[in-house]
Structure 1
Amino acid sequence: MIMNEKIKASEVQLTGINGEELGIVPTSEALALARKLKVDLVCTSLMSSPPPCKLIGKGAAKQEEQQARKREREPKFKEIRLTAHIEEHDFDTKKQQAERILKSGDAVLAVVRLQGKEGPKAKELLQSLLQELKPYGRPKTGIQLSGKQAAVQIDPIL
């Protein structure tokens, strides 16, 4: 992202703070206007002539760039394993672990290993986990019972 004095073009296509079109302006004039309004002049693309530039509040440009980077990154999967006969304290620990993972922007794959006829109990356990994690993530898939495990993928809310 090219900002303020780093813009080398002689003139720019300027857009105001509220998105209003200000037309083609000499770069020095655009920089003076940005200083006067106490904002940053940010070049959005170098591929055209004159380059399009926007007036953006101080620091907002960097925040916007960080948000874009965060959205670009593919979420990693972190698996959390549970058992159908988990105790309350252990469940809370696993829930906090999943919460931390979702807050960091990664997806959680909650897996319950099954032994015998624990399918309904495992499904109930995963539903309560989903309910507890609702503020931090939403299920990408439904609860899937297959063979020796029940699983659900939870994606973070960004």
Structure 2
Amino acid sequence: MIKNEKIKANEVQLTGLNGEDLGIMLTREALALAKQHKVDLVCLSLMTSPPPCKLIGAGAAREEAQQAKKKADKSPDKRKVKEIRLHLQMEDHDRDVKQSQAERILKKGDSVKLVIQVHGAKEGEAGKAWAEELCKALKEHGTKTTGVQVSGKQVVVQLDPPN
């Protein structure tokens, strides 16, 4: 965020405290107006000429930037992918625990990547079948993003929460 004396443009398109358009004026005049009202002059974008600027109270500018950051953090493309590692030789109880972990992660809004460790082609087919079972069991909490991928020593599938 560029504000006050850090704005290098000669002229700015100024918006007042209540959102009213004050027109294009010299930067030094806009700074004088900001000091007169005891607020900050904040540059909104450097992509246009003259740059649009706004008179904002000191705490309000900081708070506005924090709210914009929070909103960006919650966007779906910022979703985390949590990996859960499984083995074919796991006990039934351990499988249930891993499945409930996956449910919890999906409910929270993050994606789950299930990685099943296997040894050889025979176990690969068993791992694929188990991955399909897990996907069916987690169907109401998330949907498959990728197909079940069998590669060498592991079977991988990713589930995303419903939007």
TM-score, normalised by the number of residues in structure 1? 0.54
Distance 1:27 1:100, change over 3 A: farther
Conservation of the 8 A alpha-carbon contact between 1:43 and 1:53: yes
Answer yes or no: is 1:83 the counterpart of 2:80. no
Instruction: Provide the secondary structure at the position in 2 that maps to 1:151.
Output: strand
Report whether the alignment pairs 1:51 with 2:51.
yes
Contact 1:4/1:31, CA 8 A, preserved across alignment:
no
- Give the counterpart of 2:132 among 123, 134, 139: 123
Instruction: State percent identity of aligned pairs.
Output: 45
- Cα distance 1:47–1:120, how it changes in 2: closer, same or farther (>3 A)? closer
Deviation, structure 1 residue 116:
6.8
Asked whether the equivalents of residues 13 and 53 of structure 2 are also in contact (C-alpha less than 8 Å), the reply is yes
**Conservation of the 8 A alpha-carbon contact between 1:109 and 1:154:** yes
Q: Please state how far the C-alpha of 1:51 moved relative to its aligned partner.
A: 1.6
Aligned to 2:148: 143
Instruction: Please name the residue that 2:30 is paired with.
Output: 27
Q: Provide the C-alpha distance between the structure 1 equivalents of 2:17 and 2:81, rounded to a whole number of angstroms.
A: 39
For 2:23 and 2:161, locate their aligned partners in 1 and report how far apart those are by CA, in whole Å. Answer: 41
Q: Distance in 2 between matches of 1:34 and 1:96?
A: 53
CA distance in 2, matches of 1:157, 1:54: 39
Report the CA distance between 1:110 and its aligned residue: 1.0
TM-score (normalizing by structure 2): 0.53
What value does the CA root-mean-square deviation take over the aligned residues? 4.8
Q: What pairs up with 1:85-104 in 2 under 5 angstroms?
A: 86-93=91-98, 95-96=100-101
Residue by residue, what CA displacement relative to the aligned partner does 1:22-47 show, whole Å, maximum 9, x if unpaired?
53244233676794xxxx65313335
Q: What is the DSSP-based 3-state SS (H/G/I as helix, E as strand, rest coil) of the residue aligned with 1:62?
A: helix
Question: Taking structure 1 as reference, are residues 16 and 68 closer, same or farther at Cα in structure 2, changes over 3 Å only?
Answer: farther
Q: Quick one: which amino acid aligns to residue 85 of structure 2?
A: R
What is the total number of aligned residue pairs between the two structures?
148
Secondary structure of the structure 1 residue equivalent to 2:132: helix
C-alpha change, 1:69 and 1:23, in structure 2 (3 Å) is: farther
Structure 1 segments unaligned to the other structure (5+ residues): none
Matched-pair contact (CA < 8 Å) for 1:9–1:27: no
- 1:112 positional shift: 2.3
Does residue 153 of structure 1 match 2:129? no
Tell me the CA shift for residue 92 of structure 1. 2.9
Q: Which runs of 5+ in 2 are unaligned?
A: none
Distance 1:31 1:96, change over 3 A: farther
Write the letter of the residue equivalent to 1:81. R
Letter of the aligned partner of 1:27 in structure 2? A
Separation in 1 of the partners of 2:38 and 2:103?
A: 44
